Amino acid sequence: MTVSNHAPHAGAAPAPRTHTLGAYVRAYTALSKPRVIELLLITTIPVMFVAAGGVPPLGIAAATLVFGTMSAASANAINCYIDRDIDQEMRRTRRRPVAMDQVTPRGAMTYGLVLAAASTIGFAALVNWLSAALSLFAIGFYIFVYTMLLKRRTVQNVVWGGIAGCMPVLIGWSAIAGRLDWAPFVLFLVVFFWTPPHTWALAMRYREDYANAGVPMLPVVATEQRVLLECVLYSWATVAVSLALWPVADTTLLYPLVAAVLGGILLVQAHRLLAQVRAGVTGAKLRTMGFFHLSNAYLALLFTAVTIDPILAGWLG
């Protein structure tokens, strides 16, 4: 795996010309998309607490986080390899290492494949085979179904492609319980319904980028009113499913109270944006990035409540 010093794409900033260890580390860390991995870990850790009914075994939890991080980094690196052409065309992605020619395409693919193999073997050896299979499925789904099949062909790309981002919930649960139950599937659906409005809010900000790259995101092919109406509907589905965890996992009252308050805030903002566009507000004045950041906070705080609830139940019990 090498860091290249070839000329970058015309629209990108100049790539570093050095081959220092720091340059390698920075380039391959960026290739892994650490901010995406951070979001995945936000959903992995809490579900392990629910599966364990409190604090999970630290060894298994640590192994799950390490190999889960490697698994996600693998999928992200291979995604950068496949999407290097359109990444160069978009402001949001043109500074990624392969698009910037900081990492060669071959280096990115090799890095991704090595991580995929290592994470799968690690899960199988130190966690369990079910978690290994789910992790491998997530990598394959993200690469073959989302990146290669859906992303450039259908407006439903992030709807069904988002399944890959839901898999850490199932992986975290299976790592602790050794099986799958209804509770992780409820949280799986929370992430599934949360993903489209979260992504579309960002895509509205970068609509021209996606259009130039030929990616048929919903904001590219539909009106702002249609996009925000779907954001409202998916937000309602997210909140409804989040409340279903209360009876399914037999949580304390803390979780449904937090879920209801957070859900109310999310829905108010979604409806506010829809009302604004119906009143004639368009473009940057809609402030869809505010909804994007709010949805990030919503998921983080909701899963924080998921983490705290079984600990509280243990204290009360």
145 DSSP 8-state letter: I
Could you please report the per-residue DSSP string of 282-302?
Answer: -GGGG-HHHHHHHHHHHHHHH
- Which pTM value belongs to this model? 0.91
| Domains of the chain in sequence order | 24-178 (1.10.357.140), 181-317 (1.20.120)
CA distance 292 to 269: 10
| pLDDT, mean of each 10-residue run, the chain (317 residues) | 41 52 84 86 94 95 96 96 92 88 92 97 98 98 96 95 95 97 97 97 93 94 96 98 96 97 98 94 86 96 96 85
Q: First-to-last CA distance in the chain?
A: 53
Could you please report the per-residue DSSP string of 86-139?
Answer: HHTT-TTTTTSTTTTTSS-HHHHHHHHHHHHHHHHHHHHHHT-HHHHHHHHHHH
CA distance 50 to 68: 18
Orientation angle between helical segments 129-140 and 163-177, nearest 10 degrees: 170
Question: What is the model's pLDDT at position 43?
Answer: 94
Question: What is the model's pLDDT at position 286?
Answer: 85
State whether the Cα torsion 18-22-28-32 is positive or negative: negative
